[in-house]
Chain A
């Protein structure tokens, strides 16, 4: 696993090897084993390497034998064995066993369409010296990150944004609209990032820069059949068989590595299923890893141990003690480079460190199943809201709301009528984002705390309208479950789950996450499974449970979903309040950053310190404010006057 960085500049401009070393240096945690650079007129590529496949032969940046095509590559191509074989049959000669070289040959034969052949998680920069063309590309689901900016007469890119800030003249400047999006969705809408003028290459996209022009286009995105086609002609038995064989293959090719892979075990269906398949395919006992919490509301140690025992894995649990979240939060913000509304990434950051200490470099995880097979509560919630909405006078239907969140005691102390009023507060069932409205509404409550200046900068901008305007043309024809799945698969999944809770926190320790459920063959197959086989009544991931039938203990297979959560607002108040919290939430610091209203934040902190357990909205608000303050501190704007020659005039603002 690795980090990449580099630039494309005018041919006559001098090469900047020192800059490349600095860019690779700040993302060295991603690839601590070796650093490599390549410069030629107009181009600079850098690479920080963690050796997983072909430890000996995989040095990067790498080129074709004639030096005509160069690549700096982050990620894994899981089908590289099959691809290499078929390329060999077409006369290609390989100098290494690495998957990197496979991409070079594929590009040589197919040009930018080479991505269509790849099954993997990747972000790469490829330089075609013959045409003077730079190609940046990113995997379909967005597992590996890639950012870029066009500034200072060049195009600069890197696996993490901090690499770009090594370029003189490129400085961190908060983007008000991105903050509005984060305080609505939990993440900015790609290609926007929290920093002005820094862009993310969205999942399934590529960028081609040549002859003075830069083009970005989408080569793959999730798609679903029209609603009337969605349920037709599928036989559950054969769907189950095909799913099982695809999933097994997705795990099989993800176990390819020079060192044995481990697996995360949350205690839920998805990671248990992956671990079960991996344990069967691994020649040595599978190492599994999990987080445990002291607070029973979040802890899943019991089910984790049941699965580990049943599968006979070599299990390692890391206890996330009270106080750990507050202690690690600043480090996590530096790695994720964006404000967070939740603390979920923190225990996973600690867990990746634990994995590293146990000598494992690559880890299988069950992430993605909830998006691809409709496991999240939000899908049930939307179905129920529509069901209740069709008979608004029914007194029985709202009773079902109490079945939605059995693990949220505060929610269930309310009457069905009240829950009904809450969930029905968005009365337009034809709104394309109907399914997500309650979540967005609660999150957006945290915007109350924005400073007047920040609110003025945001103006009349509507993040919800922005999202509605980005939906694909055929979205309105899809089944409502598929519409909700699309929103998750292209929104929260790459924007938060795979990023803040995935790549960033695991790569902070050089650990590579591998996601069998996000194998694109599986994603494409699942899109054609009838909605009723995914969410059957109110039973989520039905078809996956069927597959799990003979692989897992019954108690795990039939266990209702318990979403992964960590203590949020409570981590920052009371006895465990870390010292930096008071400092960052002090009137002076808040005023200096200028993003939040100090008096309002003071009232919130006072309310939460008074002892009662914080509500979801207050908890998110506190976490969001604190993380934004930390983010602002970790990525400071340059002081006024320091950059009078700044190309974007930041100093003037």
Chain B
């Protein structure tokens, strides 16, 4: 079970930086950020910079894959795994 504070922080970051307004912020944890046009082809770099700074983790190129980063849930899950490692 992913801790809810982590989920909330990630959701908050996506909301503030990609959705910009309150009525858009009802975001499902498993909604694809690419498919829904929320994150564009370069937007993922913003997510990476945020995660590296906030959670003091280092993200390898090979980890920049949709399986790790393409939804709020996947991001939280990925951060949890990185921190546990």
Contacts and interface: CB of A to CB of B under 8 A. Distances in A.
B56 interface: no
Nearest to A607: B17
Given A448-B20, A612-B49, A414 B41 contact: yes
A602 to B, nearest CB: 9
Interface stretch (B4-12, B61-69, B77-85): B61-69
Given A612-B46, A612-B49, A615-B46, A418 B37 contact: no
B46 A603 contact: no
A449 B66 CA distance: 26
A422 B21 contact: no
B20 A415 contact: no
B42 A615 contact: yes
A415 B64 contact: yes
Interface residues of B, number: 27
Interface in A522-575: none
B64 to A, nearest CB: 4
B2 interface: no
A291 to B, nearest CB: 25
B65 A442 contact: no
A599 interface: yes
Interface residues of A, number: 31
B45 A413 contact: yes
Given A445-B37, A448-B24, A599-B21, A414 B64 contact: yes
B41 to A, nearest CB: 5
Contacts of A487: none
Interface string A416-433: 011101110100000000
Interface in A577-626: 597, 599-601, 603-604, 607, 612, 615-617
Contacts of B24: 448
B62 A615 contact: no
A252 interface: no
Contact of B62 (A415, A423, A449, A601): A415
Interface string B28-67: 0000101101101111111001000000000001101110
Given A600-B20, A603-B20, A615-B46, A417 B41 contact: no
25 contacts: A410-B42, A410-B45, A413-B45, A414-B44, A417-B66, A421-B65, A423-B41, A425-B32, A441-B40, A442-B37, A442-B40, A444-B37, A597-B20, A599-B21, A600-B21, A603-B16, A603-B21, A607-B16, A607-B17, A612-B46, A615-B40, A615-B46, A616-B40, A616-B42, A617-B40
Given A417-B65, A597-B20, A612-B46, 6 more contacts: A415-B65, A418-B66, A423-B41, A599-B22, A603-B16, A615-B40
Interface of A: 408, 410-411, 413-415, 417-419, 421-423, 425, 438, 441-442, 444-445, 448-449, 597, 599-601, 603-604, 607, 612, 615-617
